[in-house]
């Protein structure tokens, strides 16, 4: 039996001299990889088997945000077809569901990205948006605050309710509490 620490080190990697910057009370699961020009805010949780790779642009993840199991986060590099590239910017109190893919996009605060959803290059998701599981947010699309989007390609389905709006913060806070339990305990496997 061995003890697993949720204060990972080998999986938080520098890239060409740039070390990820990690806020207070952050949990990175030992099976996740966090590489390069990345900033993780306070109380962020990165769950099992996530890949967060900022090797050709930067990634910023805000406070109280959770990136759930098997998610892939990457950037869009600068080049001939996109002179500035696109960083990946994620706001505060964002919940990114299992197996989501976020690529060179911007997410505001209190956003829920459903399981298996994909948000592509240059897309902008305003504050307080819900993206349904399996949705495809196409490159350059703007998602307006206060709406649920779904489908492939993603389209506005309906305005979110006040209860759903409250759930956006609740979900993030719930994951921050769970993350703290992992940090406070040791898990034997």
Closest to 113 measured CA to CA, from 37, 56, 171:
171
- The predicted pLDDT at position 10 comes to 80
Question: Taking CA 62 as the corner, what is the angle to CA 58 and CA 65, rounded to the nearest 5 degrees?
Answer: 120
pTM confidence score: 0.93
- The predicted pLDDT at position 189 comes to 45
Task: State the DSSP H helix or E strand holding residue 95, giving kind and residue range, or none if neither.
Answer: strand 95-96
Token pair for residue 24?
A: 């207070």
Length of the chain: 189
CATH of the domain at 117: 2.160.10.10
pLDDT tens digits in sequence order for the chain, 189 residues long: 444 555 556 899 999 999 999 999 999 999 999 999 999 999 999 999 999 999 999 999 999 999 999 999 999 999 998 899 999 999 999 999 999 999 999 999 999 999 999 999 999 999 999 999 999 999 999 999 999 999 999 999 999 999 999 999 999 999 999 999 999 985 544
Rg (alpha carbons) of the chain, rounded to whole number: 16
- The predicted pLDDT at position 6 comes to 55
The number of CA neighbours under 13 Å toward the Cβ of 132 is 17
E strand spans, 118-162: 118-119, 124-125, 130-131, 136-137, 142-143, 147-150, 155-159
Other CB atoms within 10 Å distance of the CB of residue 166: 12
CA–CA dist 178, 121 (Å, integer):
31
Token pair for residue 27?
A: 């949990």
Range of the domain at 159: 3-188
Cβ neighbours of residue 63 closer than 8 Å, sequence gap 6 or more: 23, 41, 42, 43, 44, 92, 93
Tally of structural domains, the chain: 1
């Amino acid at each position: 039996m061995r003890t697993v620490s949720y204060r990972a080190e080998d999986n938080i990697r520098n890239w060409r001299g740039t070390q990820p910057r990690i806020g207070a009370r952050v949990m990175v699961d030992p099976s996740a990889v966090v590489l390069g020009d990345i900033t993780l805010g306070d109380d962020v949780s990165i769950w099992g088997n996530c890949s967060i790779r900022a090797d050709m642009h930067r990634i910023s993840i805000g406070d109280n945000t959770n990136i759930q199991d098997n998610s892939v986060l990457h950037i869009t590099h600068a080049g001939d077809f996109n002179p500035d590239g696109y960083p990946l910017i994620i706001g505060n109190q964002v919940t990114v569901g299992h197996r989501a893919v976020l690529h060179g996009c911007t997410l505001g605060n209190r956003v829920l990205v459903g399981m298996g959803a994909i948000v592509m290059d240059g897309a902008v998701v305003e504050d307080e948006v819900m993206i349904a599981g399996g949705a495809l947010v196409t490159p350059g699309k703007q998602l307006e605050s206060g709406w649920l989007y779904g489908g492939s390609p993603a389209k506005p389905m309906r305005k979110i309710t006040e209860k759903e709006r409250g759930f956006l913060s609740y979900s993030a806070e719930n994951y921050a509490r769970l993350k703290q339990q992992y940090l406070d305990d040791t898990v034997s496997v």
